[in-house]
């Protein structure tokens, strides 16, 4: 009969899961040569087991910090974002699923961006922002004083940033699959809602081995 005891997430000895933890500490203002300098400190710790992650989280809270948590499992192949969302549903934890483009695959020519916007709208999402970047130098065809030159294809890049999110990840599944099939690099970010009544350990249980845990610390009021 096994005498192994489960850890705080119910995993038995031998069922090791590890995470990378990135902590961003509050900004600090220091005076140097009569000038105010603001600095930000980040700390990255690799190969942290579940209990170690929980100890870090609880330690920050005991030190008086307010801890905001984000989860990045985009590079993890063991579990899809939709499986993570399903696990959160089963745990009774609310979340927001958001579509993200990777490696600037949402940038390109006017023709490409029009096609991308139409594809997004076909799936019922009509809220997005289009930014235009002009290349201006001695070889550029863009004349800042001549508006008609702003659309020169060789010197103009367009970028669409859609506001595609839902409290149900399955609402994004059709668009996600369509974009991937069309060659776009996309991911679904799953962000559990911050609820003091819900235990951080319970939320962590939905995310796979290898997930990057991001702690953003702020001074508690």
pLDDT digit string, tens, across residues 135-182 = 888 888 888 888 888 888 888 899 999 999 999 999 999 999 999 999
Which tokens sit at 168? Answer: 């149900």
111-132 mean pLDDT: 95
Condensed to tens digits (0 to 9), the pLDDT of residues 62-98 reads: 999 999 999 998 777 778 999 999 999 998 999 999 9
Q: In 3D, which of 144, 197, 165, 141 has the Cα closest to residue 85?
A: 165
- The runs of H, that is alpha helices, within 42-133 are 50-62, 81-90, 110-122
Return mean pLDDT, the chain.
87
Residue 113 pLDDT exceeds 60: yes
Question: What architecture is domain 95-192?
Answer: 2-Layer Sandwich (3.30)
Of 3 and 196, more confident: 196
Place of tokens 């980040």: 42
The predicted-structure confidence for 10-33, as pLDDT tens digits, reads as follows 544 446 789 999 999 998 877 777
- Least confident among 34-48, 114-128, 160-174: 34-48
3 state SS of 96: strand
Residues of the chain with CATH 3.30.70: 95-192
pLDDT at 104 > cutoff 70: yes
Which residue's entry shows tokens 């690799």?
46
d(CA 150, CA 195) in angstroms, rounded, equals 47
pTM score, whole prediction: 0.78
Residue recorded with tokens 């709208």 = 121
């Amino acid at each position: 009969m096994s005498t192994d005891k489960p850890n705080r997430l119910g995993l038995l000895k031998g069922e090791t899961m590890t995470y990378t933890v990135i902590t961003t500490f509050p900004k600090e203002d220091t005076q140097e040569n009569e000038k105010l300098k603001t600095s930000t400190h980040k700390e990255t710790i690799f190969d942290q087991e579940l209990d170690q992650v929980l100890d870090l989280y609880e330690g920050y809270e005991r030190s008086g910090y307010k801890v905001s948590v984000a989860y990045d499992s985009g590079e993890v192949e063991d579990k899809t974002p939709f499986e993570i969302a399903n696990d959160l549903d089963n745990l009774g934890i609310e979340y927001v699923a958001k579509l993200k483009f990777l490696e600037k695959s949402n940038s390109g020519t006017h023709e490409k961006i029009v096609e991308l916007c139409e594809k997004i709208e076909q799936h019922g999402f009509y809220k997005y922002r289009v930014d235009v970047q002009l290349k201006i130098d001695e070889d550029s065809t863009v004349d800042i004083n001549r508006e008609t030159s702003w659309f020169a294809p060789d010197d103009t890049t367009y970028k669409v940033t859609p506001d595609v999110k839902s409290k149900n990840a399955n609402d994004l599944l059709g668009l996600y699959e369509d974009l991937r099939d069309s060659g776009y690099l996309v991911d679904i970010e799953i962000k559990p809602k911050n609820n003091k009544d819900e235990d951080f350990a319970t939320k962590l249980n939905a995310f796979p081995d290898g997930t990057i845990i991001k702690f953003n610390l702020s001074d508690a009021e």
